[in-house]
Chains A and B, each alone.
Chain A
């Protein structure tokens, strides 16, 4: 069975600071990995995905994530936080690219 662990239910940063959201996965097969963002009462927007090509994946809005097999990690980063980045972020793992198992989410708070 696959699973995802997101360390830290809340992460607070100042505007302009580095954003680091942590995600570790467990999978018995080579995984597909995803990061989604969710704004209040809205659906999910895909930020980026890893599909066994390049280990460093660049996504939308300046986000990127690096797949590290040895650490079973797929942490999400952004060099400089904007106020508009404040939202809930979900890491997800998939065996077959479609059916996703989500982490518990991390709420990103950005202060001026």
Chain B
């Protein structure tokens, strides 16, 4: 299957700082990327959908000014958690899909805000 690389795999940041997570499709062009959030021992919740070159579509209840998503190329999307707080600590997972294909998942990023 196609490969989606997410970086970093884990990050610790101080409260009030911002952190950027990258999601790359290594061997295909990802027209659409999805960002999910997973709290400990819980399921994955979709945060937003991004199409290359367009603004991301956020799910209800997700603060777009806090979780900035950029999908500037067909192989890269970034999620920036701005002014992070301890409650933002979570596991973030991206998935990427080509035109008409299924979505492939990255390996996830464990964010800890201290």
Contact = CB atoms under 8 A, between A and B. Distances in A.
Contact of A43 (B34, B49, B100, B106): B106
Which of B49, B103, B104, B110: most chain A CB closer than 10 A?
B103
Interface in B68-114: 91, 93, 95, 97, 100-108, 110
Contact of A90 (B6, B43, B103, B104): B43
A44 B93 contact: yes
Interface residue SS majority, chain B: strand
Contacts of A99: 34, 46, 49, 103
Given A102-B43, A104-B43, A97 B6 contact: no
B105 A44 contact: yes
Contacts, number: 54
Interface string A18-45: 0000000000000000001000011111
A42 B107 contact: yes
Contact of A98 (B45, B93, B103): B103
Interface in A59-103: 90, 97-103
Interface residues of B, number: 25
Contact of B105 (A41, A43, A103): A43
A90 B44 contact: yes
B1 interface: yes
Contacts of B106: 43
A56 interface: no
B103 A41 contact: no
A36 B44 CA distance: 11
Given A43-B6, A43-B108, A44-B93, A98 B43 contact: no
Interface of B: 1, 6, 10, 32, 34, 42-46, 49, 91, 93, 95, 97, 100-108, 110
Given A41-B91, A42-B107, A43-B106, 14 more contacts: A41-B110, A44-B105, A49-B102, A90-B43, A97-B97, A97-B100, A97-B103, A98-B101, A99-B34, A100-B103, A101-B46, A102-B43, A102-B45, A105-B42
14 contacts: A41-B108, A41-B110, A43-B93, A44-B93, A97-B100, A97-B101, A98-B32, A98-B101, A98-B103, A99-B34, A99-B103, A100-B46, A101-B46, A102-B43
